[in-house]
Amino acid sequence: MYKAMLFDLDGTLVETAPEIFDATNATLEECGYETVTQEQINSWIGHGTRALLIKALAFIHNQSIEEIEAGPILAGALPVFDKHYQRCCGTTSYLYPHVIEVVKKLGAQGIKLAVVTNKESRYTDRVLAAHGLTELFDIVVSGDSFPVKKPDPTSILDCLEQWQVSADDALFVGDSSIDAATARNAGIDVWLLPYGYNMGEPIESANPDRVIQDFSELVA
């Protein structure tokens, strides 16, 4: 039995891609640009919404990531995206099967619980609150909680230090190669779910310790 479990958010606890799609395309339309597909959005999820917007703008303008980051296009689009995503957060997203019941059961067993996501905190907080998750976790680490994001292990290591839990007693649950790399970098086990966003690649390619079909397997 693990003493601590840490969870990714998007594609693991909550299906958020539809509202990220809505916010991104509303931003692109307001800025006078072409829109993108849901499939493209899904393939760009994982490094935070700023990185996702940069990839969308780079695709539309046929520019490199570096060119978008250094130019005026991003500066103009960021506040527009923030407006639309603040509006969309928690509106069309939904919990994956068994999430609430399993997280409550794990907490009742005394297991330390954390959310570790690359999503910026202002969006993380809204999504968690919208789905009744906020109070179920001991720690929430967002993409702007530290100067570095996943796959850097700082977020995991900080949680373990706060809890005084060893790496051998901790598990990371996610849906992508980013999550797998984060767990490996922190020296903890990782179980991955197949229904999230792994940039179009089979989840087995991330070489997790285990692939689970849904949250019920965490308490099986």
Flag whether pLDDT at 5 surpasses 80.
yes
CATH of the domain at 69: 1.10.150
> Do residue 75 and residue 108 come from a single domain?
no
DSSP the chain: --SEEEE-SBTTTEE-HHHHHHHHHHHHHHTT-----HHHHHHHTTS-HHHHHHHHHHHHHT--HHHHHHSHHHHHHHHHHHHHHHHHTTTS-EEPTTHHHHHHHHHHTT-EEEEE-SS-HHHHHHHHHHTT-GGG-SEEE-TTSSSS-TTSTHHHHHHHHHHT--GGGEEEEESSHHHHHHHHHHT-EEEE-TTS-STTS-GGGG--SEE-SSGGGG--
Please identify, among 88, 110, 145, the residue that sits at the C-terminal boundary of a domain.
Answer: 88
pLDDT (tens digit, 9 = 90+) per residue, 124-167?
999 999 999 999 999 999 999 999 999 999 999 999 999 999 99
pLDDT attached to residue 197: 85
Query: What residues are annotated to the active site?
Result: 8
Q: What is the percent of the chain where pLDDT is above 90?
A: 95
What's the number of domains the chain is made of? 2
Asked if 76 and 154 sit in the same domain, the reply is no
The model's pLDDT over 164-189, given as tens digits with 9 standing for 90+, comes to 999 999 999 999 999 999 999 999 99
Same domain, 76 and 160: no
At residue 196, does pLDDT exceed 90? no
Over 90: is that where the pLDDT of 46 sits?
no
Do 28 and 77 reside in the same domain of the chain?
Answer: yes
Whether residues 11 and 111 share a domain: the answer is: yes
Residue 97 sits in which domain range?
Answer: 4-16+93-218
- Residue 220 pLDDT greater than 80, yes or no: no
Q: Based on the domain organization, do 82 and 155 belong to the same domain?
A: no
Residues 111 and 186 in one domain: yes
pTM tops 0.85, yes or no: yes
Are 190 and 140 contained in the same domain? yes
